[in-house]
């Protein structure tokens, strides 16, 4: 089952009340609360408050969008405890994590094993609470490509270890994206939904990406949504980083996403 939602980091300039009101107005199902903007790790009282606000608005907390990268920038193990506590206070069983700070082909075997050990320990800590960990499918991590993500998931064969999926915007080849999604489908937990045009070499992430209205990506996303994910799990299509960070664009894009998911449900019902 695919539900809809918003990653709160996408509108980080807004307060929590404003984000809840916008998501409610858009008619989406859920919010992934950001761990570097709205609910910092260890802010347990705030997390409980945000959970209550979200649920009272008739919305779900799909996940905790943490920025826990397993190790610190200098390669030391990072504390997962505050991240887990915040997720539990938010009332979610899903935490998004990042597998380190370096591209997968620049990580030494010792660094790789330290990251593996940290993820295993986090999985063990969350297991008694039924917590699932989902990798950020992103550059400069051990999950920065189709192959590297598959390798990492295979190296840690835990029932609660998954990945998020997004169109890899820095690798624009459509067949590569689809091939990756098909191979990862059984382990895809949630999707980050956006439509960006990418121009390598222009500078940093913000300078090289042109965020477009979601409707312009209709052909791509209908194809992505056609790939069946694990039917025994609940999945969320989470909108991320809309054009110019405009709430009005978010509302437009949310309507588009809802129409796609409704069409998908009708197609499934007809099978």
Q: What per-residue confidence (pLDDT) applies to 204? A: 56
**Once rounded to an integer, what is the mean pLDDT over residues 225-230?**
95
Q: What per-residue confidence (pLDDT) applies to 266? A: 46
Determine the angle formed by the axes of helices 81-90 and 109-127, rounding to 10 degrees. Answer: 40
- Identify which of 270, 186, 193 has the alpha carbon closest to the alpha carbon of residue 233: 186
List pLDDT tens digits, range 114-135: 999 999 999 999 999 999 999 9
DSSP 250: H
Q: Helix, strand or coil for residue 204?
A: coil
Sorted by where each starts, the structural domains of the chain and their CATH numbers stand as 2-270 (3.20.20.150)
Residue showing tokens 């998004």: 96
- Identify which of 194, 232, 259, 153 has the alpha carbon closest to the alpha carbon of residue 9: 194
Residues 6 or more apart whose CB falls under 8 angstroms from that of 260 comprise 218, 221, 222, 225
Q: What per-residue confidence (pLDDT) applies to 127? A: 97
pTM of the model: 0.94
């Amino acid at each position: 089952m695919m539900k809809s939602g918003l990653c709160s980091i996408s509108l980080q300039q807004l307060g929590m009340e404003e984000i809840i009101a916008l998501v409610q107005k858009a008619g989406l199902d859920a919010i992934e609360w950001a761990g570097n903007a709205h609910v910092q790790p260890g802010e347990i009282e705030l997390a409980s408050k945000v959970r209550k606000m979200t649920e009272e608005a008739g919305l779900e907390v799909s996940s905790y969008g943490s920025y826990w990268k397993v190790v610190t920038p200098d390669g030391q193990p990072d504390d997962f405890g505050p991240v887990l506590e915040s997720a539990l206070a938010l009332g979610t069983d899903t935490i998004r994590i990042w597998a380190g700070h370096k591209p997968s082909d620049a990580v030494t075997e010792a660094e790789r094993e330290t990251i593996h050990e940290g993820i295993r320990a986090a999985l063990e800590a969350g297991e008694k609470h039924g917590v699932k960990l989902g990798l950020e499918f992103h550059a400069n991590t051990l999950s920065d490509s189709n192959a590297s993500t598959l390798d990492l998931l295979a190296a840690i064969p835990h029932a609660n270890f998954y990945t998020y999926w997004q169109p890899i915007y820095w690798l624009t080849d459509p067949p590569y994206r689809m091939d990756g999604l098909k191979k990862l489908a059984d382990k895809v937990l949630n999707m980050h939904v956006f439509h960006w045009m990418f121009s390598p070499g222009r500078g940093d992430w913000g300078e090289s990406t042109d965020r477009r209205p979601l409707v312009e990506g209709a052909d791509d996303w209908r194809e992505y949504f056609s790939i069946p994910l694990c039917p025994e799990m609940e999945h969320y299509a989470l909108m991320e980083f809309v054009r110019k960070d405009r709430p009005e664009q978010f509302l437009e894009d949310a309507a588009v996403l809802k129409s796609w998911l409704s069409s998908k449900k009708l197609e499934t019902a007809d099978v």
